[in-house]
Chain A
Amino acid sequence: MTAVDWQNLVQGVPSLLSGLLINLEILFGLIALGFAVGILIALVQVYSPRPLAALAVGYEWFFRGVPEMVLLMLIYFGLRQFQVRITPFVAAVIALGLRSSAYQSQIFRGAIQAVGRRQMMAALSVGMTRLQAIRHVVLPQALRLSIPPWSNEFSSVLKDTTLASAIGVIEVFKKARFIMGRNYALALPIFLVVALFFLFLTYAGNWALGALERRYRIPGFEAKGAGERF
Chain B
Amino acid sequence: MALLVVEDLHKRYGKEEVLRGVSFELERGETKVIIGPSGTGKSTLLRCINRLTEPDRGRVWLNGVEVTSPRTNIYRIRAQIGFVFQDFNLFTHLTALDNVRLGLIRVKGMGKREATERAMRELARVGLADKADAYPAQLSGGQQQRVSIARALAMDPKLILFDEPTSALDPELIGEVLQVMIELAEAGMTMLVVTHEMGFARSVADEIIFMEKGVIVEQGPPEVLFTNPRVPRTAEFLRKITEFYGESG
The answer to whether A and B assemble together is: yes
Q: Which residues of A contact B (CB under 8 A)?
A: 118-119, 121-129, 132, 136-137, 140-141, 144, 218-221, 223-224, 227-230
User: Could you say which residues of chain B place their CB within 8 Å of the CB of A220?
Assistant: 134-138
User: Could you say which residues of chain A place their CB within 8 Å of the CB of B93?
Assistant: 137, 140-141, 144, 218
B141 within 8 A of partner (CB): yes
Report the separation of the CA atoms of residues A218 and B102 in the bound assembly, to the nearest whole angstrom: 17
User: Could you say which residues of chain A place their CB within 8 Å of the CB of B91?
Assistant: 119, 122-123, 137, 141
B210 within 8 A of partner (CB): no
User: With A132-B107, A219-B137, A228-B136 in contact, do A121 and B89 touch (Cβ < 8 Å)?
Assistant: yes
Nearest to B85 among chain A residues (CB) is: A122
A126-B151, A128-B106, A144-B93 given; name 4 further pairs at CB < 8 Å. Answer: A118-B89, A125-B82, A125-B152, A227-B137
Which segment, of B72-80, B115-123, B174-182, B186-194, faces chain A? B72-80
State the main secondary structure of chain A at its contact with B.
helix
B204 within 8 A of partner (CB): no
A219 to nearest B CB, angstroms? 5
User: Could you say which residues of chain B place their CB within 8 Å of the CB of A144?
Assistant: 93
User: Could you say which residues of chain A place their CB within 8 Å of the CB of B89?
Assistant: 118-119, 121-122
User: Could you say which residues of chain A place their CB within 8 Å of the CB of B144?
Assistant: 228
Query: Which one, A119, A128, A141, A219, contacts B107 given CB within 8 A?
Result: A128
User: Could you say which residues of chain A place their CB within 8 Å of the CB of B137?
Assistant: 218-221, 223-224, 227-228
B106 touches A132 (CB 8 A): yes
B138 touches A219 (CB 8 A): yes
Number of B residues near A (Cβ < 8 Å) is 32
Nearest to B53 among chain A residues (CB) is: A121
Listed residue (A119, A132, A140, A228) with the most chain B CB atoms within 10 angstroms of its CB? A228
6 chain-A/chain-B pairs, Cβ below 8 angstroms:
A122-B91, A126-B103, A126-B107, A127-B75, A218-B137, A221-B135
Q: Which residues of B contact A (CB under 8 A)?
A: 50, 52, 75-76, 78-83, 85, 87-93, 102-103, 106-107, 134-138, 141, 144, 151-152, 155
User: With A126-B107, A228-B144 in contact, do A219 and B135 touch (Cβ < 8 Å)?
Assistant: yes
B15 to nearest A CB, angstroms? 21
A125 touches B83 (CB 8 A): yes
Query: Which one, B92, B106, B107, contacts A221 given CB within 8 A?
Result: B92
A16 to nearest B CB, angstroms? 42
User: Could you say which residues of chain A place their CB within 8 Å of the CB of B76?
Assistant: 127
A124 touches B85 (CB 8 A): no
User: Could you say which residues of chain A place their CB within 8 Å of the CB of B82?
Assistant: 125
Nearest to A222 among chain B residues (CB) is: B137
Nearest to A137 among chain B residues (CB) is: B91
User: Could you say which residues of chain A place their CB within 8 Å of the CB of B50?
Assistant: 125
A228 touches B141 (CB 8 A): yes
User: Could you say which residues of chain B place their CB within 8 Å of the CB of A123?
Assistant: 91
B136 touches A125 (CB 8 A): no
A122 touches B90 (CB 8 A): yes
A87 to nearest B CB, angstroms? 41
Report the separation of the CA atoms of residues A140 and B50 in the bound assembly, to the nearest whole angstrom: 25
User: Could you say which residues of chain B place their CB within 8 Å of the CB of A118?
Assistant: 85, 87, 89
Listed residue (B81, B87, B88, B93) with the most chain A CB atoms within 10 angstroms of its CB? B93
A214 to nearest B CB, angstroms? 15
B82 to nearest A CB, angstroms? 8
A229 touches B92 (CB 8 A): yes
B51 to nearest A CB, angstroms? 9
B52 touches A121 (CB 8 A): yes
- Which 7 residue pairs of A and B lie closest in terms of their CB atoms, listed nearest first? A127-B79, A220-B137, A126-B103, A220-B138, A122-B89, A125-B83, A127-B107
User: With A129-B75, A144-B93 in contact, do A218 and B107 touch (Cβ < 8 Å)?
Assistant: no
Nearest to A126 among chain B residues (CB) is: B103
Query: Which one, A126, A137, A218, contacts B135 given CB within 8 A?
Result: A218
Nearest to B136 among chain A residues (CB) is: A228
Nearest to B104 among chain A residues (CB) is: A126
B132 to nearest A CB, angstroms? 14
Report the separation of the CA atoms of residues A155 and B79 in the bound assembly, to the nearest whole angstrom: 44
A126 touches B79 (CB 8 A): yes
Report the separation of the CA atoms of residues A121 and B53 in the bound assembly, to the nearest whole angstrom: 10
